[in-house]
Structure 1
């Protein structure tokens, strides 16, 4: 009997470490599974955040992980990716079948945690630390039908070569616009009742559009109280320029040297992209740069001709405004040139009259624009700058806001940014 008791005691002593090890593995194992679930949730939240921001913001993703996951010893191998359709064979294959273009965002990371029961000797455990991994993906697809208004710089500098492309800047930009319309055409083929449309207005130190007899007229969007010999000598009435910014102007009283050698004109909203591209191909750039001219003219086009639920205004420029115009544009922005356009469409306070359109403005507050079906329109403005430092053009930066100014290093950057602006504001989760 004593021998049997001794055997039981020895067996119990041998089993204790095993039982304790099972307990520790169970405790830390359950904790690891819970931690992985939290990390997966964090990755889902983070990928939605970066897709909404349209970025590869590692700091933003890390903040989400730290908020969701407790007792983290360290975050390792955090990977945040933004992939365009060209980077994904599946997306490319879908385009060939008429499916919608999308951008994909991926967040993946690994967190390290200190074990509660690391184990020692014969007692099993997870070791001093254990690692957990998690990942998620989100896609942004093209959403509601859009009226896209391109405001394009047709100044002389656009005729120069640049490091971001193989042609002159203006010819590269024409290629990009054609590629954008090719993408829109694929969407329109699937949704013939709700098509995307495009329009374009150009600028140098003036704008050009047709009159009642279809004759091209060079126009100055500024209101001047006194004209000098040159533009720099003009006395601009900034308040009146803003009050009448939505009024179509008459022929310019003076055209600066070189600007009259440019050949471009307004093309109003259309979904007939072949004709649109053919016309744009024939445009020629020359003269100085005054972005205020294109912005004001675009506002006239949008408020009179827009029909789609979403209005997207994109300014494409290769540099800062010409001399004195670099001072005039910020002054007009400060007085409401750009906010008037957005608020006239979205609804909000405006400092311009609306005698030239049918938009309901009550006590200086626009009631917003609606589609023919009665749906409220929404509008946004962005700048895509290329071949210059963005901070050099203060007027454009202040016009759209620093978060809506994008720098493009090459033609692919410009194309992808335009297509990204067209896609949905926020992605949805995908496996």
Structure 2
């Protein structure tokens, strides 16, 4: 009975303590109600602001990164085309190209500003190499998701800006066009006149652009059919085991057995005493007619060595096309001309509209034995690897020209616009390199 009384007394004491504590809490809550409300508002605003900055901030960082990528890719594209920024046509083309990159990269923006494109003057690095710099900048506007006047956040509309730049080196360049002047080049090219006339026009147009850079650029022109003639002799840069004193279709059909391939390739880019050098009077004219070989369709040789004089190139307009085709004769002669080049960059452009005729074995054998690799080594400089490009007009080659020139330098043109675009890429195309942007 005594213990039971003590337990009841302790239980009552605890109840009074709990009641007193609850009363104190209720009284504190009533007395501090305003302070708690203020703290809740402050804390709530802080949390909402942090959420807004977290979501929106990361969003705008990503948008800026996307814009930066668009700027850099646009600058690279502009440097690849290298239109300059001086004529209305060039300005319009550059704006269109840059805007297309922005449109593809920035699809969900409220607005995208017109790109600002700056092209630096060509800055001299040394006597052989110069560069041009394309710098693109723009701004995009974005509607904020959590904009509010009740808590810290971004403005209703936020502008994000960035820029990108690419630098393209313009080495002084020597280009030799080895061009097919066989009879099939007189056929019409879709969208234009004859293949040979369109080819001449485009070559002269590209030569004008090369000269306009005013860097000592030079152009050479090597026409060929089944060989070419210089003076009164037919000259073909093939070294033979036994001397060739006359040319006929029977001799040429078996010529691959007489060619010294090793000596021919080792001689590049020099002329050899053992290469074919036959008087034009010793060319048999049957069964292909009187002009089947060595550019007999032309009364004079219109080969043009490397020159910076545009007027010297104009002579190609007077040269007719006729005869059969032997592409290697043009390649080997063009390599001899480029061997005399002192330019920082050297390019050989081969243009043909058909397979070799009379003998289809020599060219693929030369390619397999390393003719193209030897030419590239000869053309290479400390500034640039030698480049060979092949442009086929309206046919699918059976010779694996990609083995010679590489996938990126092989083109097939089916109309006049494609021919001009492909020749332009063969001569000029070199993608620039991104450089430091402005912060």
Between the aligned partners of 1:314 and 1:25, the Cα distance in structure 2 is 59
**Residue matched to 2:224:** 203
Report the secondary structure of 1:152's partner residue.
Answer: strand
Between the aligned partners of 1:140 and 1:385, the Cα distance in structure 2 is 31
In the alignment, structure 1 residue 222 sits paired with structure 2 residue 238:
yes
TM-score where L is the length of structure 1: 0.66
Matches within 5 A, 1:107-122: 107-108=101-102, 109-110=105-106
How well do the aligned residues superpose, as a CA RMSD in angstroms?
A: 4.3
Residues 133 and 200 from structure 1, CA distance in 2 versus in 1: closer, same or farther, beyond 3 angstroms? farther
Given that residues 153 and 291 in structure 1 are in contact (C-alpha distance below 8 angstroms), is that contact kept between their aligned partners in structure 2?
A: yes
Residues 28 and 413 from structure 1, CA distance in 2 versus in 1: closer, same or farther, beyond 3 angstroms? same
TM-score where L is the length of structure 2: 0.65
**Residue matched to 1:386:** 393
Q: 1:159 offset after TM fit, Å?
A: 0.5
Q: 1:134 offset after TM fit, Å?
A: 8.4
Q: 1:110 offset after TM fit, Å?
A: 3.8
Report the secondary structure of 2:277's partner residue.
Answer: coil
Larger radius of gyration: 2
**Residue matched to 1:269:** 306
**Residue matched to 1:290:** 326
**Residue matched to 1:169:** 195
Q: 1:93 offset after TM fit, Å?
A: 4.1
Report the secondary structure of 2:170's partner residue.
Answer: coil
Between the aligned partners of 1:135 and 1:323, the Cα distance in structure 2 is 61
In the alignment, structure 1 residue 92 sits paired with structure 2 residue 87:
yes
Residues 177 and 142 from structure 1, CA distance in 2 versus in 1: closer, same or farther, beyond 3 angstroms? farther
Given that residues 152 and 202 in structure 1 are in contact (C-alpha distance below 8 angstroms), is that contact kept between their aligned partners in structure 2?
A: yes
Between the aligned partners of 1:205 and 1:417, the Cα distance in structure 2 is 25
In the alignment, structure 1 residue 314 sits paired with structure 2 residue 356:
no
Between the aligned partners of 1:92 and 1:286, the Cα distance in structure 2 is 40
Residues 296 and 166 from structure 1, CA distance in 2 versus in 1: closer, same or farther, beyond 3 angstroms? same
Q: 1:32 offset after TM fit, Å?
A: 2.3
Residues 166 and 401 from structure 1, CA distance in 2 versus in 1: closer, same or farther, beyond 3 angstroms? same
Higher mean displacement: 251-260 or 281-290? 251-260
In the alignment, structure 1 residue 34 sits paired with structure 2 residue 65:
no
Report the secondary structure of 2:211's partner residue.
Answer: helix
Between the aligned partners of 2:227 and 2:89, the Cα distance in structure 1 is 43
Task: Choose which of 356, 372, 375 in structure 2 pairs with 1:341.
Answer: 375
Given that residues 379 and 387 in structure 2 are in contact (C-alpha distance below 8 angstroms), is that contact kept between their aligned partners in structure 1?
A: no
The superposition leaves residues 381-411 of structure 1 with CA deviations (integer Å, 9 ceiling, x where unpaired) of 112233223xx24343221112211333443
Matches within 5 A, 1:233-248: 233-234=254-255, 235-237=257-259, 238-245=261-268, 246-248=270-272
In the alignment, structure 1 residue 21 sits paired with structure 2 residue 56:
no
Residue-pair matches, total = 344
Residues 91 and 262 from structure 1, CA distance in 2 versus in 1: closer, same or farther, beyond 3 angstroms? farther
Between the aligned partners of 1:323 and 1:137, the Cα distance in structure 2 is 55
In structure 2, stretches of 5+ residues that fail to align are 1-27, 109-144
Q: 1:313 offset after TM fit, Å?
A: 1.2
Higher mean displacement: 266-275 or 6-15? 6-15
Between the aligned partners of 2:321 and 2:95, the Cα distance in structure 1 is 33
Given that residues 201 and 294 in structure 1 are in contact (C-alpha distance below 8 angstroms), is that contact kept between their aligned partners in structure 2?
A: yes
Higher mean displacement: 19-28 or 250-259? 250-259
Report the secondary structure of 1:251's partner residue.
Answer: strand
Task: Choose which of 399, 403, 406 in structure 2 pairs with 1:401.
Answer: 406
Residues 289 and 35 from structure 1, CA distance in 2 versus in 1: closer, same or farther, beyond 3 angstroms? same
In the alignment, structure 1 residue 281 sits paired with structure 2 residue 276:
no
In structure 1, stretches of 5+ residues that fail to align are 55-82, 113-117, 189-193, 210-214, 347-367, 369-374
Q: 1:295 offset after TM fit, Å?
A: 0.7
Between the aligned partners of 1:19 and 1:40, the Cα distance in structure 2 is 30
Given that residues 169 and 432 in structure 2 are in contact (C-alpha distance below 8 angstroms), is that contact kept between their aligned partners in structure 1?
A: no
Report the secondary structure of 2:342's partner residue.
Answer: coil
Report the secondary structure of 1:316's partner residue.
Answer: strand
The superposition leaves residues 313-338 of structure 1 with CA deviations (integer Å, 9 ceiling, x where unpaired) of 1112223333632x321210121211
Q: 1:205 offset after TM fit, Å?
A: 1.3
The superposition leaves residues 164-223 of structure 1 with CA deviations (integer Å, 9 ceiling, x where unpaired) of x320000001111121122233222xxxxx4211111111111222xxxxx243223334
